[in-house]
Amino acid sequence: MGKLKVQVCAGTYCTMMGSMDIVAAIESLVDLKESIGFTCDIDLQVVPCTEQLCQKGAMAPVVRINEEIFLSAETETIMSRLLELAKNCQGESGAGASEK
């Protein structure tokens, strides 16, 4: 089974701009696991602000999925990206290999 590493910034700017709502949205995906065929493990981490990628809040909140960085992240973009990636990691683990 594949694994997705998701890091959500909990610095002041990102928290103010709703990063914890993104965390709640990602956690909520667990409830939908069966209906969306989501077999990936999500390693969800809440991380401190280290690189100031948000440029003093202008681009907050910041989310990183594996090595991909999302600036001004919104729950809908993050959730749909996670679902896309979840399909791929199914393929890698062999579970979805028969399809195409």
Q: Is the Cβ of residue 39 or residue 75 nearer to another protein in the bound state?
A: 75
Asked if 53 is part of the footprint of another protein (rule: CB under 8 A), the reply reads no
Structure tokens at 28: 């909520």
Mark 35-64 as b/e (b = at least 16 C-beta within 10 Å). Answer: eeebbbebebeeeebeeebbeeeebbbbbb
Per-residue contact string for residues 61-80; x = within reach of another protein by CB under 8 A: --------------x-----
Q: Is 50 helix (H, G, I), strand (E, B) or coil?
A: coil
> What is the distance between the alpha carbons of residues 72 and 41, in angstroms, rounded to a whole number?
25
Counting beta carbons within 10 angstroms of the beta carbon of residue 19, is it exposed (0 to 12), middle (13 to 18) or buried (19 or more)? buried
Nearer to another protein, 21 or 39 (CB): 21
For the CB of residue 77, give the shortest distance to another protein in the complex, in Å.
Answer: 13
Task: Give me the 2-31 binding string for another protein, x by CB under 8 A, dash otherwise.
Answer: --------xxxx-xxxxxxx--x-------
Binding site for another protein (CB under 8 A): 10-13, 15-21, 24, 46, 48-49, 56-57, 75
